[in-house]
Structure 1
Amino acid sequence: MATIKDVAKLAGVSVATVSRVINNSPKASKASVQSVTTAMKSLGYRPNANARALVSQSTNTIGVLVSDVADPFFGSLVGAVDKVARENGKHILIGNGYHDREQERQAIELLINSRCESLVIHAKGLTDEELIDYANEVKGLVVINRHIDAISSRCISLDNYKGAYLATEYLLKQGHTQIACIASSHAISDTEERINGYKDALTDYNQVLPEHYTEFGNPNNHGGEAAMTNLLAKSLSITAVVAYNDYMAAGAMSILDENHLSTPEDISIIGFDDGLIARYVKPRLTTIRYPVELMAEKATELALRLASDAPISEHPLRFSPTLVKRDSVSPLK
């Protein structure tokens, strides 16, 4: 791995000059900025995050990276981080990564350069290796909704596989065998884990369904509408649907209603997350509870402890989803 000395040698400048460029010092000339930047890019050198943050004192700020703060799920996550931050006299800065590798990287770099002393990171685009590198640089970094073995004690995650398995198993126990799956079109681990949970539950109950019983869409109400429309267009004998999240479930329910199909009398639906929408759609949505607020609170507390060198548990925090029974599922008649 390249060092600051390697950068200085390639750029033909002193280590002090490299340091000035890294920390955006006004004393760095345009020529040195250009030569150092070129050398860093050539060597694949990334400045140590702690060194950048310690150029000046900490800002008592916690950085939060989410996919999209406009999404109610991530809004709940950010709200929980902010609650713990304020209890500890901190403020938060928020970055959106949109599940895109480059945008996640840019957002994390911005949070680091803003001298955040702790980071709560929800990243699906970056590789494990990249997140491990960031964790090695920022002692107060915690990853949420993802498990990485090498930094497992700094990961707060949910068993997505178990959640989808529980949802599918519940429908099977209600007598349903023709169960469709509405999945997210985002190529992230959550999608894969939930599809695997759905498939394995079917297998364990001796049910085999073709791949075209699974439809993909954006993980929102519009994606749920599109996926349900496609399922109906196939004229499949569906009696129940497992949805990737509550918003996709709500979108699917609206399409059923438009096609004069009732929930749950004609088709039962189960969601995932237990967001506010689950309690206010009609019928109220049976779903899998994702304790995002509790997970975010624990992640923030852990990030603060790491930043202050306080002792932490070496065991990863893996949360378990639970079934919430409401009105959108009924036994097969």
Structure 2
Amino acid sequence: MATIKDVAKLAGVSVGTASRVLNNSPQISVHSYNAVHNAVRQLGYRKNAMAKALVRSKSETIGVLVSDVGVPFFGALVKGVDNVARQNGRHVLVANGYHDAHQEKEMLELLLSNGCKSIVVHSKGLSDDVLSRYCQEAPALVLINRHLPTARERCLYLNNFQGSLDACNELIAKGHRQIAYVCSNEDIPDARERLQGYKAAMDNAGLHFDINNVYFGEPTDEGGRVATTALIHSGKRYSAIATYNDSMASGTLECLQDNGISLPRQISVIGFDNEYIAGHLYPKLTTMAYPISHMATCAAQLALDLESGMPVKADMTHEFKPTLVQRKSVIERR
């Protein structure tokens, strides 16, 4: 990590001058101002509020990086962290990265620059190498829903493959054989792993996976409608649809009903995540529960423990598994 000495050297000024520029002191020449800020941009230097926090016994905030706090899944994640923060007299600073590498990096820099030592990160945009460097810089940074080999003791993640496999096996156990999959079009591990779970379930049951039975869309209710519209227009007959998440399942249910399809009599639908909406759809959605609130609580506590210098417990759970929640959207195929 670049220091103010590095900035001063590259800018060709003294450390004192560099410090005055960065602290917006008066009577700084235009040349010095431009030279220092050019050096800051080249070196990726940030004013190290974190260093001040390191002097204190603890910082006052826990940082949280999510994709979009407006999405219920991430709202539940933030609430889980906030509960732990409040119990420990902390506040939460939330940043949205939108699964974009540039924005995730920018928001991580913001959290660090604002003195956050304990940080819970949900990142899908940043590479393993970049996250590894941040883990080295911030010893109390914990990754959620990400398995990073170089920092595995600080990772809490879901077995997406197993969850999708179990969801599809539930359909197969109910007698369904013509099963489609409504999948996220995001190029992230979650989407790939859940698609692989569907493939494995089909192959294991001798139903022969066919990519033409997979319909893609954004991981939202609108994406579910788009994917299901394509499914209907394909002219293929299905008795069940497995979906990437509950938001897509919501769009799938709505699209099917708009097209006069009786649910679940004609087509059964299963979701993934067990978001709040799942119990309020019609029919109420059978889904796989993602224990995100519990995982977020564990992640926040782990971050605080690491900040305090406590070792990671040998028996700590790092891999979590989804569980089936049976409601009304899946019935036995007669």
**Is the structural similarity TM-score above 0.5?**
yes
Q: Which residue of 1 aligns with 2:12?
A: 12
Q: Which residue of 2 aligns with 1:280?
A: 280
Note the C-alpha offset of 1:202: 0.9
Q: Secondary structure at the match of 1:249?
A: helix
Structure 1 counterpart of 2:332, which letter? Answer: P
Q: CA RMSD in A?
A: 2.3
2 CA distance for matches of 1:311 and 1:141?
A: 14
Q: Which residue of 2 aligns with 1:258?
A: 258
| 1:307 and 2:307 are equivalent in the alignment | yes
> What is the count of residue pairs matched by the alignment?
331
Q: Which residue of 1 aligns with 2:157?
A: 157
Structure 2 counterpart of 1:35, which letter? Answer: A
Q: Is the 8 A contact 1:154 1:316 kept in 2?
A: no
Q: Is the 8 A contact 2:50 2:116 kept in 1?
A: no
Q: Which residue of 2 aligns with 1:330?
A: 331
Deviations 1:217-263 (A, max 9, x none): 12111111111111001011111111111111111011111111122
Deviations 1:173-203 (A, max 9, x none): 2221211111112221111111111111111
2 CA distance for matches of 1:223 and 1:281?
A: 17
2 CA distance for matches of 1:317 and 1:48?
A: 31
Structure 1 counterpart of 2:241, which letter? Answer: V
Q: Which residue of 1 aligns with 2:213?
A: 213
| 1:78 and 2:78 are equivalent in the alignment | yes
Aligned-residue sequence identity (percent) comes to: 47
Q: Secondary structure at the match of 2:126?
A: coil
| 1:175 and 2:175 are equivalent in the alignment | yes
2 CA distance for matches of 1:192 and 1:15?
A: 49
Q: Secondary structure at the match of 1:77?
A: helix
Q: Secondary structure at the match of 2:94?
A: strand
- The 1:20–1:325 alpha-carbon spacing in structure 2 relative to 1, beyond 3 Å, is farther
- The 1:13–1:298 alpha-carbon spacing in structure 2 relative to 1, beyond 3 Å, is same
Structure 2 counterpart of 1:317, which letter? Answer: H
Structure-2-length-normalised TM-score: 0.91
Q: Is the 8 A contact 1:153 1:313 kept in 2?
A: no
Q: Which residue of 1 aligns with 2:67?
A: 67
Q: Which residue of 2 aligns with 1:111?
A: 111
Structure 1 counterpart of 2:23, which letter? Answer: S
2 CA distance for matches of 1:97 and 1:266?
A: 40
Note the C-alpha offset of 1:53: 4.6
Structure 1 counterpart of 2:140, which letter? Answer: G
Structure-1-length-normalised TM-score: 0.91
Q: Which residue of 1 aligns with 2:98?
A: 98
1 CA distance for matches of 2:84 and 2:251?
A: 33
Deviations 1:86-144 (A, max 9, x none): 01100101101111111111111111111113111111111111111111111221111
Q: Secondary structure at the match of 2:89?
A: coil
Q: Which residue of 1 aligns with 2:321?
A: 320
Unaligned runs of 5+ in 2: none
